[in-house]
Chain A
Amino acid sequence: MNLVAAGLTHFQALTFFALVVSVTFAFLSKRELSERAKYIAWAFVAFLLVAVGIGWLMYPFSR
C-alpha cells in the first residue's frame, strides 16, 4: 500500500497491471486450474515482453 502511495516505478506498474489482467482473463476464459495457471503465466510473460519490446522499438524516436 505504501509502495503505491509512494509511487510505483514504470516497471512495477507494468508488472502489477500485467498480473492482475492476466489472472482475470484466465478466470474468464479457462475452466480447469491447470489451464488457468498456464494461461496466467503465458499472458503475464506476453504482456511484459510486448511492452518491453515496444519500448525498445520506440527508444530511437525518444531523442
Chain B
Amino acid sequence: MVEKTNSKEESSGTLVMGIVAAIAGWGVPGLGHLLLRRWAKAAVYFLCVGALACAGLMMRGGVFMAGANDLFDRLGFFADLGTGVFYFLAHLIQTAGPDVAHASGDYGTRMFATAGMLNLLTVLEAYEIGRGRRT
C-alpha cells in the first residue's frame, strides 16, 4: 500500500513536471528544457526557433490572426502561435508590417510558421523528458 502511494506520488510529480516544462517551452522556446537542466538543448532551441521566427518577421512575412474563417488560415494561426512569445511580440519585431506580395515576404510567412512547428516539437520533447519517458 505504501509502495503504491509512493509510486502514485512519483508519477503525478513527473506529470506536473512534464506539463510545466511543456507550457514553459511553449511560452519561451527552450525554457522547458532549461527548467529540466538540458542546457545545450535549451540554448539551441531558443537560438534556432528565435532566429527562424525573427528572420521570418524581418522578411515581412504574414502573421495569421485568430478568428479566421479559412481553414488554412486557422492552421496557420496555430502554427504561428507555436512560437510562443515571438507571436505576441511579432508587431514589435516587424515594425514595417507584412508584405506577402513579394517572394521574401512569402518566405517569411513560411519561416515564421515553421518556427512555430519546430517549437511545438521541442515542447513535446520537453513534456516527454519531464514525464521521465525520455532522457
State A21–B41 Cα separation when bound (angstroms).
Answer: 14
Among candidates A7, A21, A31, residue contacting B118 with C-beta atoms closer than 8 Å: A21
- When the two chains form their complex, are residues B104 and A24 in contact, meaning their CB atoms are under 8 A apart? no
Which chain A residues lie closer than 8 Å to B83 at the CB level?
none
- When the two chains form their complex, are residues B45 and A27 in contact, meaning their CB atoms are under 8 A apart? yes
State A28–B120 Cα separation when bound (angstroms).
Answer: 12
> How many residues in B have their beta carbons less than 8 Å from beta carbons of A?
22
- When the two chains form their complex, are residues B52 and A20 in contact, meaning their CB atoms are under 8 A apart? yes
The reply to whether the CB of A8 lies closer than 8 angstroms to some CB of chain B is yes
Interface residues of B in 37-62 (CB under 8 A from A): 40-41, 44-45, 48-49, 51-52, 54-55, 58-59
Instruction: Using known A-B contacts A24-B122, A27-B45, determine if residue A7 contacts B51 with beta carbons closer than 8 Å.
Output: no
- When the two chains form their complex, are residues B104 and A20 in contact, meaning their CB atoms are under 8 A apart? no
Which chain B residues lie closer than 8 Å to A13 at the CB level?
59, 104, 107, 111
The reply to whether the CB of B68 lies closer than 8 angstroms to some CB of chain A is no
Which chain A residues lie closer than 8 Å to B104 at the CB level?
7-8, 13
State A8–B54 Cα separation when bound (angstroms).
Answer: 13
7 sampled A-B residue pairs with Cβ under 8 A:
A8-B55, A10-B103, A17-B114, A21-B52, A21-B114, A24-B45, A24-B48
